[in-house]
Chains A and B, each alone.
Chain A
Amino acid sequence: MSLNLEPNIPDPDGFYQELIDSQRDMSDAEAQMMNCRLILILANHVGDRDVLREALKVAGGRID
């Protein structure tokens, strides 16, 4: 399996609205905490270390 960078989310506008709405009433600090939880939850769902490493790279992270 490799990282899927092609469109994969049905109803993209609906998803984006849900994402933004989910944090609408949060302070920046609360939203940052939620983002951390979200990243961990999604990373566990993916599970594959190679895919996760590729995603870290595509997101602009440093990979040694």
Chain B
Amino acid sequence: MLKTYAYPKFPYRVSAEQRDGRVARHPVVVIGAGPIGLTAALEFGRRGISTVVLDDNDTVSIGSRAVCYAKRPLEIWNRLGCAAPMVAKGVSWKVGKVFFENDLRYGFDLLPEADHEMPAMINLQQYHLEEMIIAECGTLPNVDIRWKHKLISLRQEPDHVVLTVETPDGVFTLEADWVVACDGANSDTREMVGAAFTGQAFQDRFLIADVVMKADFPTERWFWFDPPFHRNQSTLLHKQADDVWRIDFQLGWDADPVEEKKPEKVIPRLKAMLGEDTEFELEWVSIYQFACRRIDRFRHGRVLFAGDAAHQVSPFGARGANTGVQDIDNLGWKLKLVVDGTAPETLIDSYDEERAFAADDNLRQSTRSTDFITPKSDMSRRFRNAVLELAADNPFARPLVNSGRLSTPTPYVASSLNTPDADAFAGRMAPGTNCADAPVTVGGEPSWLLHHLGEGFTVLTFGTAPAKTVACGPIEAKVLAIGGDLVDVEGLVAERYDGRPGTTYLIRPDQHVAARWRTFDAETIAGAVARACVLGGAAR
């Protein structure tokens, strides 16, 4: 097994604090070095927060697992400096095909808007992705990833958390001002704080296999309902890097998870699908069942939850890791302002407000896909099949086909951090929305708009900038003129942001719109910064 990839083994090192037997206090401790915990370490480190990561293992994800990464997380990793190798190694795709029984019924194109730096979607094995983030973390002196460190208990004090950790050298204690738990769907940290994790579990099992083969399937997402090679169930095929293909078989609830994992059971299923003559090797197999669940609150005192530890979705739509990365995008700048004492602790509550809102949206979408893919009654199966039968010849039925709605960001439309529009705007860039990318030039050199957003608060103004910065108490927002600092070479910034001379946007450090106006007014902008940071009157 595992012919195309050698798993790295990261060295365990005893920490100075454990060796010396002293209790150290850290600003932030992240639990779990999966894609979300590692992204958190990189995000916090880049923003200047010293971060310790504890992971009970010493390698990357076993098997391809998450696989599909969408544009928004790629933009976040691009801001953090590690998207280029992911895009280079990953397989970019945009066409999906849906088969029912013997026939192609429906094809879709993600139709990514042109002129964005990042592709709509890439497929990449989770282990490659984790290795790339770990490599990037290695360039930051303030990120300390500690392998073979298992959290065994946790106690909350009013202004810090006490963590008991086990390593090959025994048990020791450390303290953290904040803990960010990214320890997955079966989060021990969640148990330790006594948080509820409720929702819907689905009575179904899936076999997922990584298969190495030279195949001439196109680089598309193929989804089969009730195919002749796997009757009454669904199958999904995805291409990944290194000629590794990911194949998911729905097995039904009665399947025996131990038996079904055996190669002598898996290989005949693959042969039925791929043909007797196709040469392939099985790299990795796993059986899982899924659930749509969410934690009661993303914040429990000084313990914050992100990724699958906070929300678990069914895999259709690639909403797990993609949403988790956006949790961290949302949390990083807030934690920085709070750790520095610039913003009050209540800013962290907006992390729960905004990301619970996004999680609920994801859970709704994911539950709907699951109900379509795995009908719960004979009658719902008939309706599902009727949709699929009609889709081939009747355009009206195609939007009803739901083989997974692929992950897109959830705008924080109702967030208390937004300053509601007072002026009229067309287009999508309402407060709470993540900024659309667009090509620009800077000093004649080609660049992308998103490269210039995200360090702190940024004011984008179309035309002449009346000031270089806008100050709001201790927070200073940099002003960028579209048409001065950044040249809108193709007119797409103006188009995507409904920009006219004077139009001004306040952009949060996570590249989301906080507020927008038709004129530049420093005092109004400062007010919107204060609102987005929950600053009281005194700071303004």
Contacts and interface: CB of A to CB of B under 8 A. Distances in A.
Contacts of A40: 383, 386-387, 390, 397, 400
B233 interface: no
14 contacts: A32-B379, A32-B382, A33-B382, A33-B385, A36-B382, A36-B383, A36-B385, A36-B386, A37-B390, A40-B383, A40-B386, A40-B390, A41-B394, A44-B396
A59 to B, nearest CB: 13
Interface residues of B, number: 12
Contacts of B56: none
Name which of A32, A33, A40, A41 has the most chain B CB atoms within 10 A of its CB.
Answer: A40
B144 interface: no
A26 B488 CA distance: 64
Nearest to B383: A36
B385 A41 contact: no
A36 B382 CA distance: 7
B386 A33 contact: yes
A44 B400 CA distance: 10
Name which of B379, B382, B387 has the most chain A CB atoms within 10 A of its CB.
Answer: B382
A36 B389 CA distance: 11
Interface in B367-391: 379, 382-383, 385-387, 389-390
Name which of B386, B387, B390 has the most chain A CB atoms within 10 A of its CB.
Answer: B386
A41 B387 CA distance: 10
Q: Which 7 A-B pairs have CB atoms at the shortest separation, nearest pair first?
A: A36-B386, A44-B396, A37-B386, A36-B382, A36-B383, A32-B382, A40-B386
Nearest to B389: A37
Contacts of B394: 41
Contacts of A32: 379, 382
Interface string B390-411: 1000101100100000000000
Contacts of B396: 41, 44
A60 to B, nearest CB: 14
Interface of B: 379, 382-383, 385-387, 389-390, 394, 396-397, 400
A37 B390 CA distance: 7
A45 to B, nearest CB: 9
A51 B389 CA distance: 25
Contact of A41 (B382, B383, B390): B390
A46 B389 CA distance: 20
A32 B397 CA distance: 18
Contacts of B382: 32-33, 36
Contacts of B385: 33, 36
Contacts of B386: 33, 36-37, 40
A40 B385 CA distance: 11
Interface in A2-29: none
Nearest to B378: A32
B384 to A, nearest CB: 9
A36 B397 CA distance: 12
B15 to A, nearest CB: 53
A33 B386 CA distance: 7
Name which of A33, A37, A41 has the most chain B CB atoms within 10 A of its CB.
Answer: A37
A40 B383 CA distance: 8
Contacts of B397: 40, 44
B394 to A, nearest CB: 8
A40 B400 CA distance: 10
Contacts of A44: 396-397
B106 to A, nearest CB: 14
B374 to A, nearest CB: 17
B402 to A, nearest CB: 14
Contacts of A41: 390, 394, 396
A36 B388 CA distance: 11
A36 B396 CA distance: 14
Given A36-B382, A37-B386, 8 more contacts: A33-B389, A39-B383, A40-B383, A40-B390, A40-B400, A41-B390, A41-B394, A44-B397
Nearest to B397: A40
Nearest to B396: A44
A30 B394 CA distance: 20
B275 to A, nearest CB: 31
Contacts of A37: 386, 389-390
A21 B382 CA distance: 22
A44 B396 CA distance: 7
Nearest to B381: A36
A37 B383 CA distance: 7
A57 B394 CA distance: 27
A7 to B, nearest CB: 27
Contacts of B387: 40
A39 B386 CA distance: 10
B314 to A, nearest CB: 21
A45 B10 CA distance: 60
B514 to A, nearest CB: 33
A33 B255 CA distance: 28
Nearest to A37: B386
Nearest to A32: B382
Contacts of B379: 32
B258 to A, nearest CB: 35
A33 B387 CA distance: 10
Contacts of A39: 383
A46 B387 CA distance: 17
A40 B394 CA distance: 11
A46 to B, nearest CB: 12
Nearest to A38: B386
